[in-house]
């Protein structure tokens, strides 16, 4: 569906060259909800903006359904953009237009006749559950409602892809949930491919099936969400995983005076197998579960535990080996 190959983007800013994207390669398949996560300034927005050429890449290819967007002239590019929906952190609705008129905009510029527009607007309002706000103005809506209008507007011309740039970052957690649910529904119902940019792990965890982790203009890790987050390799990815919430503040570790702390990550069958109790039976040690939980990431179980191991040093070593043999990732947390 979307292939990004060897993409570079440099900004010239008063003589300085900012390398915002460095050799980006991603493949997004039809029906994917593809998450791009990274800290602020990592280059996420620049990357999606290259997909619909809001930003001109410095080098590289962006193929959409096999068509290189760099080969398109101005009017072909406009036609392509009509088939790529986009939603934004700050919604970017037209303040002078009502909800219905906002949704009408993309239909107007696609020269859809009036009666058909009316019909489509009603369909979309139903889809995003905003029928009662049809004639309201954006200023009369809550953030979540504005984003629903944004989504309806983005879907008006039956796009192939929906790009979401921090679409939930300005919303409270509860509203975020409802918007993510809506996106998931659209993905399932319409088979729409969705690209989601975020700095929030929750968003990825909730709805993405694939993820790319970005840092300093590069993709440092990517793949299926359950794989990437069950076995985070990169420091930045580990930090995002920690942010799901199974972690104790470091000060607390020190205060409580634990000796040997181990972080365990496991997925799939590992999460449902009683590996820990087997380990305790097999070796002469005690395990004290301090913190953790098991998450559902796209129908896949992912466990993340912090355990204190008590016992002789060599027994602990053996126990850790045992865990590793059983495909549990162990990380000794040094204090």
Q: Which does 78 bind (CB under 5 to 8 A by kind): another protein, ligand ADP, Mg ion, none?
A: another protein
Which of another protein, Mg ion, ligand ADP, none binds 252 (CB below 5-8 Å, type-dependent)? none
Which spans of this chain sit near Mg ion (rule: CB under 5 A)?
A: 45
* Among residues 78, 254, 310, 312, the one that binds another protein under rule CB under 8 A: 78
Partner in contact with 42, chosen from ligand ADP, Mg ion, another protein, none, beta carbon below 5 to 8 Å by kind: ligand ADP
Cα–Cα distance for residue pair 256/213, rounded to 1 Å: 34
Among the listed residues 327, 219, 222, 227, the one whose alpha carbon sits nearest the alpha carbon of residue 272:
327
Q: Is 106 in the site for ligand ADP (CB under 6 A)?
A: no
Binder of residue 17, out of ligand ADP, another protein, Mg ion, none (CB less than 5 to 8 A by kind): none
Q: Which of 2, 4, 43, 155 binds ligand ADP (CB under 6 A)?
A: 43
d(CA 12, CA 262): 46
34: which strand partners? 195, 210
Residue 79 contact, options ligand ADP, Mg ion, another protein, none, Cβ 5-8 Å cut-off depending on partner type: another protein
Kindly state the helix (H) or strand (E) to which residue 4 belongs, with its residue range: strand 2-13
User: Near ligand ADP by CB under 6 A, which window of 41-49, 83-91, 169-177, 312-320?
Assistant: 41-49
Residue 244 interacting entry, from ligand ADP, another protein, Mg ion, none, C-beta within 5 to 8 Å by type:
none
Closest CA to 286 of 266, 308, 263: 308
> Of these, 23, 29, 30, 109, which contacts another protein (CB under 8 A)?
109
DSSP secondary structure letters along 62-117: EEETTEEGGG--HHHHHHHHHTEEEEETT----TTS-HHHHHHHHHHHTT--HHHH
* Least gap, CB of 20 to ligand ADP (angstroms): 3
Residue 166 three-state SS: coil
Min CB(17)–ligand ADP separation in Å: 9
Helix ranges (H only) for 83-209 are 99-109, 114-127, 143-155, 173-190, 201-207
Q: Does 17 bind ligand ADP (CB under 6 A)?
A: no
Segment near ligand ADP (CB under 6 A); pick from 12-20, 81-89, 112-120, 270-278 = 12-20
β-partners of residue 193 are 161
Which one, 113 or 257, has the nearer CB to another protein? Answer: 113
For the segment 165-194, give every residue that binds another protein (CB under 8 A).
Answer: none
> Counting Cβ atoms within 10 Å, is residue 169 exposed (0-12), middle (13-18) or buried (19+)?
middle
**Residue among 154, 54, 136, 142 nearest 95 (CA):** 136
Based on the shown chain and the rule CB under 6 A, indicate whether residue 121 belongs to the binding site for ligand ADP: no
As a whole number of angstroms, the distance between CA 230 and CA 44 comes to 22
Is residue 16 part of the contact set for another protein (CB under 8 A)? Answer: no
The answer to whether 252 contacts ligand ADP (rule: CB under 6 A) is no
Residue 280's nearest CA partner among 247, 323, 230 is: 323
Q: Does 120 bind another protein (CB under 8 A)?
A: no
- Using CB under 6 A as the criterion, which residues of the chain lie in contact with ligand ADP when the complex forms? 11, 13, 18, 20, 38, 40-46
């Amino acid at each position: 569906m979307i292939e990004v190959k060897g993409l570079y983007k440099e900004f010239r800013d008063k003589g300085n060259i900012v390398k915002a994207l460095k050799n980006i390669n991603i493949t997004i398949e039809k029906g994917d909800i593809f998450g791009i996560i990274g800290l602020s300034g990592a280059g996420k927005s620049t990357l999606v903006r290259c997909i619909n050429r809001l930003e001109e890449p410095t080098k590289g290819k962006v193929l959409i359904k096999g068509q290189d967007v760099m080969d398109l002239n101005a009017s072909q590019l406009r036609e392509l953009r009509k088939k790529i929906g986009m939603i934004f952190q700050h919604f970017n609705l037209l303040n002078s237009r009502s909800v219905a008129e906002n949704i009408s905009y993309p239909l107007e510029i696609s020269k859809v006749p009036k009666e058909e527009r009316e019909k489509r607007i009603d369909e979309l309002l139903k889809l995003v559950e905003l029928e009662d706000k049809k004639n309201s103005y954006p200023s009369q809506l809550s953030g979540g409602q504005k984003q629903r209008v944004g989504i309806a507007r983005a879907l008006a011309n039956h796009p192939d892809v929906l790009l979401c740039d921090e679409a939930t970052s300005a919303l409270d957690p509860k509203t975020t949930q409802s918007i993510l649910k809506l996106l998931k529904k659209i993905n399932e119902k319409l088979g729409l491919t969705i690209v989601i940019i975020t700095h929030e792990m929750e968003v990825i965890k909730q709805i993405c099936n694939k993820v790319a982790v970005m840092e300093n203009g590069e993709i440092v890790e990517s793949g299926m969400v359950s794989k990437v987050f069950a076995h985070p390799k990169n420091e930045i990815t580990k930090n995002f995983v920690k942010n799901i919430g199974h972690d104790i503040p470091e000060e607390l570790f020190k205060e409580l005076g634990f000796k040997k702390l181990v972080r365990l990550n496991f997925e799939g069958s590992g999460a449902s197998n009683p590996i820990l109790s087997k380990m305790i039976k097999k070796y002469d040690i005690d395990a004290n579960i301090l913190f953790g939980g098991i998450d559902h990431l796209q129908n896949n179980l992912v466990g993340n535990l912090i355990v204190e191991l008590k016992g002789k040093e060599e027994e602990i070593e053996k126990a850790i080996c045992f865990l590793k043999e059983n495909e549990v990732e162990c990380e000794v947390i040094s204090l």
